[in-house]
Amino acid sequence: MSALATTTTTNNAEEAKPKLSEPIVRRLWAMAHRVVEPRSLGWALRKWSAFNECVVAYELREKRIALTIDDVPSEVGLMERMLDVLCEHGVRATLFVVEEFAAEPERREVLRRALAQGHELANHLVRDESPANYSPAEFSEALERCDRLIASLDPGWSEHRPKWYRPPHGFMNEYMKGHLKEKGYVAALADVFPLDTEVRSVDWLVDFVKSHVKPGSIVLLHAPDVRDAKNGKHHKRQNNIQVLQQLIPDLKAMGFEISTLTDLHHAFHRTQQEDQLELLANPLEDADDDRDDVDALVTLPDDDLGDVPVNADSNHRTSALL
């Protein structure tokens, strides 16, 4: 039987409990970030071929970041509350859809509302599980199933370039990399993940994001309630609605513009074009004084997938990080 055969989940599934106590998890996560920031880790991961076309963050001067929410859609009422908060603050986000979570028509309706509100949908396969054991055929089928769902909701989907994919559980391999590229996808990881899958404290989650966010960051949060494909357990993350309620005004007060991944991607391209025009206007007289600026001038990217920054020469610091 295919690993993707439909599973049944029950509404009264047992609530999942975090494996470690929360204070320990928080301390370990903060400590790990003191040792190495995910952006620097991104540079290291570039050496690992399966990941070398993923995006972790963009190098940007402008204080713009992307808000991404995984494991969408949740239970309808909670999703609507989350969308209300985003709407109230005028924020558009990238929502990574798990195809099986949108089985009920009411949930697909919530996704339509999200699109109408200006959010973009993106591919997070069929289930909230690691695809590490998927055969190539199973991976292709899972990508395609979620792609078909999004196409049925978003009339502009087939023209969308790049289409965004978030690897469930961060798993990538060579086959996935090649197949994603062929299908017009770019895999996006994130450089600011407050571990909201384990931590419930709203204040801690808000502070974590605020203290790690930088221009060009990709912030990852999760939908308010998630069912585990393996054991049907419920991960209740309603606290994330409150996190967004507190976090968005704080980030704005810090001067950050919050946008979708596509907007962040375009902002990066715009900056590249401006830098290139500036170089043409002021040829290299002061190049030796400022090697960084020279390094920043890589090939002028267009809007087609072939020129997305992830494909830029990895020696250039303007390439999107890992």
Chain positions contacting Zn ion, by CB under 5 A: 70-71, 128, 168
Tell the smallest beta-carbon distance from residue 74 to Zn ion (Å).
Answer: 12
Which of 163/222 has CB closer to Zn ion?
Answer: 222
Per the DSSP assignment, residues forming a β-bridge with 192 are 219
Task: Say if residues 17 and 235 touch (Cβ distance below 8 Å).
Answer: no
Which of 71/225 has CB closer to Zn ion?
Answer: 71
Tell the smallest beta-carbon distance from residue 126 to Zn ion (Å).
Answer: 11
CA 99 vs CA 13, 133, 228, 253, 322: distances in Å: 19, 18, 13, 35, 26
Which of 223/267 has CB closer to Zn ion?
Answer: 223
Task: Give every CB contact of residue 196 below 8 A, 6+ residues apart in sequence.
Answer: 205, 221, 222, 237, 239, 240, 243
Task: Say if residues 60 and 216 touch (Cβ distance below 8 Å).
Answer: yes
Tell the smallest beta-carbon distance from residue 197 to Zn ion (Å).
Answer: 8
Which of 123/262 has CB closer to Zn ion?
Answer: 123
Which of 60/69 has CB closer to Zn ion?
Answer: 69
Which of 123/245 has CB closer to Zn ion?
Answer: 123
- Classify residue 312 as exposed, middle or buried by CB count within 10 Å of its CB (0-12, 13-18, 19+): middle
Q: What is the CA radius of gyration of the chain?
A: 20
**What is the 8-class DSSP label of residue 132?**
G
Tell the smallest beta-carbon distance from residue 124 to Zn ion (Å).
Answer: 6
Report strand pairing: 257-259 vs 218-222.
unpaired
Per the DSSP assignment, residues forming a β-bridge with 220 are 68
Tell the smallest beta-carbon distance from residue 8 to Zn ion (Å).
Answer: 20
Tell the smallest beta-carbon distance from residue 291 to Zn ion (Å).
Answer: 40
